[in-house]
Amino acid sequence: MKGVAIIVGYALEESLRRKIFVIVLVLTAAFLGLYGLGAEKAFDEVDTFSGGSGIPGVDERTLAGATLLGLAMFGTLFLGAVLAVFLTLSVVRGDAERGLLQPLVVRPLGRNSLLAGRFAAAAAVCGVYVGLVFAGAAGITYWAGGWWPDRFWLPAAELALAVVIIAALSLVGSVFLSATANGIAVFMVFGAGLVAGLLGQIGEAINSQTLLDVADRAAWALPFEALYQDALNAISSKSFGLTAEALQLGPFGGAQSGGHYLWPWIVVYLGIAAVVASVFFARKDL
């Protein structure tokens, strides 16, 4: 465990010294600033549109608030994925090709400790980052329109866990692929997951079992997407009637809930990722 802690410290120091945190904070501030501006205008438009009389059966503030926060969650997941990928894409092969890895792994700490340390550091940074950005977006939504998600902690945890899974995939990829190839591969996988989720939304809207099945299989294979969908579902879980229907038809409506097996599957999935990375890294010539 001591070796893992040293590598966690090394990885965090790397992020600090290379000014990764500064860049991320500046870009995040810009993202939340733009989101705040957009949310305020959107809620103003809702008030103008409904004219105070409202659309029968639809809670416009919930519809606007959940859709806006859903959009913010998409942005948060994307930013978290970028951070997760850049913190892990070159951990094994990329660093070995640059000659950074060899001096570390010949030390007694061992290869598994190095993997565990790099993963723990990336997971902690990305998980906390995504949780804070989600909280910021929820706070801005409340400030702009007085709307607060039906559930807060669950979607925050699910978004954080989604980027942890992306970090794990990127770490596994780094055992096999060079840094550039790994970055491209993980972003393509990330995109495939999001597309599968949108297919599910479309399937829900047009009542297509085939599209729903495709989305379901993709969500099991890429559970960060299932977590994202479940998080979207959770922010408006108490909505009902026409409001819920309208939300489900939108792109951030949370049509699919993860179900009872989602969290156990996440544990198994991360376990499989850890075993694959460990076994193949142990056999890798550096």
The residues binding another protein (CB under 8 A) are 3, 6, 10, 14, 17-18, 98-100, 102-110, 283, 285-286
| DSSP three-state, residue 58 | strand
Distance CA 126, CA 118 (A): 12
Comparison of 71 and 175: residue with beta carbon closer to another protein: 175
Nearest to another protein of 18, 41 (CB atom)? 18
| Least distance in angstroms from the C-beta of 175 to another protein | 15
CB 273, min distance to another protein, A: 23
Residue 257, judged by CB atoms within 10 A of its CB (0-12, 13-18, 19+), counts as middle
Farthest-apart Cα atoms in the chain, separation = 71
- CB 286 to another protein: min, Å: 4
| Spatial CB neighbours of 106, under 8 Å, sequence gap ≥ 6 | none
- Whichever of 15 and 229 has its CB closer to another protein, that residue is 15
Q: Can you tell me the distance from the alpha carbon of 57 to that of 264, in angstroms, rounded to the nearest whole number?
A: 37
58: phi then psi, degrees, rounded to nearest 5: -120, 130
Tell me the C-alpha to C-alpha distance, in Å, between residue 264 and each of 24, 234, 260. 31, 18, 8
User: Rounded to the nearest whole angstrom, what is the least distance from the CB of residue 37 to another protein in the complex?
Assistant: 36
For another protein, give the closer residue by CB, 109 or 185: 109
**Which residues lie below 8 Å from residue 62, measured CB to CB, with a gap of 6+?**
147, 236, 239, 243, 247
C-beta of 51 vs 99, nearer to another protein: 99
Closer to another protein at the Cβ: 18 or 217? 18
Q: Rounded to the nearest whole angstrom, what is the least distance from the CB of residue 202 to another protein in the complex?
A: 47
Adjacent-strand bridge partners of 58: 55
We find the least distance from the C-beta atom of residue 170 to another protein, in angstroms, to be 20
